[in-house]
Structure 1
Amino acid sequence: MMAWLSPYGHLQDLGYETICVHPYPASFYNRHNIYPQIGFSRFIDIREFSPGDKDGQYTGDIAIANKVRDIISSVIEKPLFIFCITMENHGPLHLESPRDGDEDLFYATGIPDSCRDLTVYMRHLMNADHMAGMIRDTLGRGPRGGIFAWYGDHVPIMPSVYRQMGTPESLTDGFIWRTQASADTCSIARSARITSMGVECLGAEIIRLLPSGRVADPEIRVSAASAGIP
């Protein structure tokens, strides 16, 4: 595959610095060979993170937010595109145990012991929310602003939880947010294909986030935002 056939290669042609951040070995799925061919000028993998960046089994989302902040502050001469593949709440979740106080933090009443994976996932999801806020703040403080898009590729793998509570729809959430808000922005949540998210970021009107926005594969229901992320 040639870089000019991909949207990332097109961004390179437009003068963007294109960077992928994935805190896992770059050789996994042969990404270290494939990503340069589809238009990424740099791949930041597990080697640029430390063991202290872990939260659970993998590099935590807070470390990702800090890495994004550092990249944005270091690339000032060119427009910048960063693609992050996070790991913290990837699982398998059953290899971790809930921490003291987690159940009191996330639930009004106790839950069955078979749902311990859900408690682990909730802690990581809380950190993902913190990551989103940190990236939002980084973009908001910068002189050039930016667009922040986020989507999930699949629901969490928690078979013991689903046996107890039922299997969820294979849907995940997504949103698009930008620092520049127009005076006539409004709220919307709608369905679209995941492949259209880049078009939404670059060409469509970006509007206020709705918490009900959902994403499906290959369908994606995108919430767009021009105000703060809760």
Structure 2
Amino acid sequence: MQHWAIAAVAGLAILALVILRITSGRPFRPLWNDLPDVAVAIILWLSLALLTGRPVSSALLWVVLAAGLLLADHTKREVLREPIVFADASELLLVFTHPKFYLPYVHPALFYGIGGLLVVATAALFSIEPPSMPGDPVLSRLVGALLLIVPIAAYFWRPSLNVMARVIRLLRPSGDPVEDAKTLGMLGSFAAHTVCSRQERPARQAACHFGIVTAPPDKPPVLLVQAESFFDIGRLDPALPSPLMHYQACRARACRHGRVDVDSWGANTTRSEFAAISGVSSAALGLDRFNPYYSFARRPLDTLAARMRQAGYLTVCVHPYDRRFYGRHKVMPNLGFDHFVGGEAFEARRGELVADEVLGAWINDFIDRQARPVFVFAVTVANHGPWSAQATTDSPFAPMLGGYLDGLMGTDRMIGQLAGSRWLNEDGGIFALYGDHQPSLPILLNDGAHIGASTDYFILDRTRAAAGRCDIRVDQVGRALAECLAEHAPMPRAPRAADRLSAAGRRF
């Protein structure tokens, strides 16, 4: 390798290390905290340099990727109040397949301008840099491939994985991404968390136990709704009249209601989604708490839906968006759902957010058509950010909430549709709703409104009297619903058209 190449690689290595230090949140730290980062970076750079024979281009590529990591981490901390974690690697492709959920939070000049320029410059350097790695090219490529293949193979082979995990634990990772990034570096913490999470996962999966669900003889229809970015905005200023009339009415009649302690803010819907259905706390998930759909829920688990199915219910999950988003099409059967309905049922165009009122009408129609007991878990998406700066809804809350208020009013109208349904009022159904997380709004950032990060929930059962406030964690939502089902008092029901249909003549 020529002297200029050695100097260029050294300079780029220093630049990459500076970028990684800034990303870690501790730019001025002892040199030994850089060792895990340096070890991972050397393996990645050397493998690519040996495979391509171009050391400078390989170094520049990793500098560009480190800069991208810095941008992603900064954006996530600003918008979601948490750093990049190892499980976010699963979302890299989603940035390009579902850009409206990611790119609006990054300045176009940074992503398309500077980012595009760096990518083009790296590609150009690869095309003009002559191969300059010493030794036989064939042998070099073999060594480069082995530098990647051996760690990956060791990761997937249980005996070597256990050894890797024991070695990594000598570094004493805490499991806190913020602290581990400071002490192990970003790349070092990613590697440590990736290995440790896989090594711990089977035991944690085996420990998942929702418990028996007891259904009354009449098996009423049951609906659980996870509402996107929903919380009771009346908490912002109790002196103002809340525009959420349907929510307020349901809460007043609910057999259970209160606040929900959730494990995310502004995004990460799947965390609340999984917690409510599985009853598993974030502590029990370990490192998989950041994205339980990434690997943890890729095998059958004991959940509310699985127990409802055992109790004789048809279990259905509906999420009016791309069924492949976050791998839900693979996860939902493992969570105990007989059917998973995505955006295809709503004739939604790619990337379109289906209105909550449309989803509410679909739910009512679907439940009314069923001849057997049904449990529906609905995950809304319409009120996902970003939102416009100005609200069209006339309310005292409009100046502080902007366009988010418009979407929230759509959720409230959906609540009214479901609360006024026949299956709930005449067939004695149970209707529960909770918010997945608070919206990423400036007024709520870093608890600027002094209301905490909790959302709200209610469980409505017409056969039971209203009760006082009872705050719970999000992993207790499904269990609370199961308890209400067990305590449900059957009510006389008029014959329904769906009840007279022959099961053989019906299709899902």
Same fold (TM over 0.5): yes
| TM-score for both structures, normalised by structure 2 | 0.34
Report deviation, 1:50. 3.3
| Structure 1 match to 2:396 | 107
1:29 aligns with 2:326: yes
Equivalent residue, structure 2, for 1:18: 315
Unaligned runs of 5+ in 2: 1-298, 489-508
Offset of 1:192 from its aligned partner?
2.1
Q: In structure 2, what is the equivalent of residue 91 of structure 1?
A: 385
Question: Any idea what the Cα deviations from partners look like across 1:124-169, whole Å, max 9, x if unmatched?
Answer: 111111111110111456642211111111110113x447x92551
Question: Contact 1:154–1:172 at 8 Å: present in 2 too?
Answer: yes
How far apart, CA to CA, are the structure 2 residues paired with 1:175 and 1:142? 16
Equivalent-residue separation in structure 2 for 1:166 and 1:37 (angstroms): 39
The answer on 1:79 being equivalent to 2:373 is yes
Equivalent in the alignment of 2:476? 196
Q: Which has the higher helix share?
A: 2
Alignment partners' CA distance in 1, 2:348 and 2:329: 21
Letter in 2 for 1:88: A
Give the whole-Å Cα distance in 2 for the aligned partners of 1:19 and 1:142.
21
Kindly provide the CA deviation profile for residues 194-219 of structure 1, in whole angstroms up to 9, marking residues without a partner as x.
Answer: 2222332232468xxxxxxxxxxxxx
Higher relative contact order (CA 8 A, sep 6+): 2
Q: Is this contact kept in 2: 1:106–1:119, CA < 8 A?
A: no
Alignment partners' CA distance in 2, 1:50 and 1:61? 15
SS in 2 for 1:174: strand
Matches within 5 A, 1:44-193: 44-51=341-348, 58-76=353-371, 78-93=372-387, 96=388, 98=390, 101-102=392-393, 105-107=394-396, 111=399, 115=400, 118-139=401-422, 143-159=426-442, 161-162=443-444, 166-167=448-449, 168-181=451-464, 185-193=465-473
Structure 2 CA distance for aligned equivalents of residues 63 and 140 of structure 1 = 17
Q: Secondary structure at the match of 2:384?
A: coil
Q: Aligned equivalents of 1:6 and 1:34: distance in 2?
A: 12
Q: Deviations along 1:169-214, whole A, 9 cap, x unmatched?
A: 1111111111223xxx3431022222222332232468xxxxxxxx
In structure 2, distance between residues paired with 1:20 and 1:139: 20
Alpha-carbon distance in structure 2 between the residues aligned to 1:2 and 1:13? 14
Residue 169 of structure 1 aligns to a residue whose secondary structure is coil
Secondary structure at 1:106 match in 2: coil
Q: How does 1:4-15 map to 2 (within 5 A)?
A: 5-15=302-312
Q: Deviations over 1:80-135 (max 9, x none)?
A: 10001101112122xx3546x53xx1128x84xxx5xx221111111111111110
The DSSP-based 3-state class of the residue aligned with 2:420 is: helix
Work out the CA distance in 2 between the residues paired with 1:97 and 1:149: 31
Q: CA 1:124–1:18 in 2, change beyond 3 Å: closer, same or farther?
A: same
Instruction: Write the letter of the residue equivalent to 1:158.
Output: L
Once residues 80 and 166 of structure 1 are traced to their aligned partners in structure 2, the CA distance between those partners, rounded to angstroms, is 41
Deviation of 1:37 after TM superposition, in Å, equals: 1.6
In the superposition, relative to structure 1, how do residues 51 and 194 fare at CA in structure 2: closer, same or farther (>3 Å)? closer
- C-alpha contact 2:364 2:423 (8 A) present in aligned 1: no
Query: 1:21·1:84 contact (CA, 8 Å) conserved in 2?
Result: yes
Match of 1:222 in 2: none
- 8 A Cα contact 2:368 2:423, kept in partner: no
The answer to whether the Cα contact below 8 Å between 1:91 and 1:157 also exists between their aligned partners in 2 is yes
Mean Cα displacement is larger for which, 193-202 or 12-21? 193-202
- Residue 140 and residue 2 in structure 1: after superposition, are their counterparts in 2 closer, same or farther (change >3 A)? closer
**What secondary structure is seen at the aligned counterpart in 2 of 1:70?**
helix
CA 1:37–1:179: 2 relative to 1, 3 Å: same
Q: Aligned with 2:414: secondary structure?
A: helix
User: Identity rate of aligned residues, in percent?
Assistant: 29
| Secondary structure of residue in 2 paired with 1:173 | strand
Call closer, same or farther: CA 1:32–1:140 in 2, change over 3 Å: closer
1:188/1:125 Cα in 2 relative to 1: closer, same or farther (>3 Å)?
same
Gaps of 5+ in 1: 207-230
Residues 16-50 of structure 1, C-alpha deviations (whole Å, 9 max, x = no match):
11111101111111110110121111111111113
In 2, distance between residues paired with 1:142 and 1:170?
33
Q: Which deviates the most, 133-142 or 29-38?
A: 133-142
CA RMSD of aligned residues (A): 2.7
Contact 1:139-1:179 within 8 A present in 2 as well: no
Q: Which has the larger radius of gyration?
A: 2
